[in-house]
Amino acid sequence: MSKSDIFHSLPESARDALSKQDFPSSPSPMLAKLTDRRFSDDDWLFERKFDGERCLGLKEGDRVRLLSRNGEELNDSYPELAEAIESCRRERLVVDGEIVAFSGDVTSFSKLQRRMGIEDPDRARESDVAVYYYLFDVLHIDGYDTTDLPLRQRKRLLRDAIDFEDPLRFTAHRNAEGKAYYQEACRKGWEGIIAKRADSGYVHSRSANWLKFKCVNQQEFVIGGYTDPEGERIGFGALLVGYYADSDLKYAGKVGTGYDNETLKKLSGRLQSLERETPPFADEKLPRSRVHWVTPKLVAEVAFTEWTEDGKLRHPRFRGLRRDKEPEEVVREKTDTG
């Protein structure tokens, strides 16, 4: 296929500006900033925020790699998604999107955990958890870098480059009406929406050109300890979690809800293998009764209502473990108020 057949929908100036580029072997994803502003703007478009696992899909000839946010290969967990990307018409392609599982009409990170924990492709195929790959951006097509193109043009190219059939799905967007879409998202029980500047390029870092409008507070935290179970509880009682400020791990509180028995059993074994004598937290005031400290290697997704004045989580709830972020990357997520 020629350059013109995929890029014919672009303005001539955009086609002329496209540059040849070697196939990127390990690109980093563009990340959004959190904001407490909710706005509508003709210069922005608004997409659903999915509660899943971020994934870059790379196709180079017959070779396909699904890469997590931190570069971990995901092919064995999601073999049907790798095959779907392999069947795409383009010889070389890099796409960005989110892998999700559904509970009813809502994406469920907890349900997706059952697939994330499988690293054998045959077992993954036999799983009763169906997964879908929602694509929302394209970074490279057949030798050409597309990241400098405006977002609207990249989304048009994405539609042209792929025949969208399950398990590949195109991420639709709304134009201009961000406030209304945010309110609709919250009514439907979604995690929120992502606001994206329509004329922005794609950068391999966090950018204020992508903003998160969250319906619920949640972010990653590092696990630094756990408490003994009480009563009929099995495994452990609560996780002790924190985040990094400079090089110090700051204590953010106990997370005692959100676990089923299977999670309590599996996570308990991993925690016991990481036990240490001293706390990893830099704080002086820490729980001490029936507490076990662990080396901070595991990252948990936690939902909560708010931060307290002394920097602790109010009503935290465990959502699942994350494998796409290193512990040292976990910081307290700040809102963009600009």
Residue 126 CB-density burial (10 A; 0-12 exposed, 13-18 middle, 19+ buried): exposed
- Catalytic pick from 49, 111, 155, 212? 49
pTM summary value: 0.88
Q: So what's the pLDDT on residue 308?
A: 94
Per-residue pLDDT of 191-244, as tens digits, reads 999 999 999 999 999 999 999 999 989 999 999 999 999 999 999 999 999 999
Per-residue pLDDT of 59-71, as tens digits, reads 999 999 999 999 9
Query: Has 49 been annotated as catalytic?
Result: yes
Delineate the domains of the chain, giving CATH numbers in brackets: 10-17+27-214 (3.30.470.30), 217-332 (2.40.50.140)
Q: So what's the pLDDT on residue 335?
A: 77
Pairing of strands 335-336, 31-35: parallel
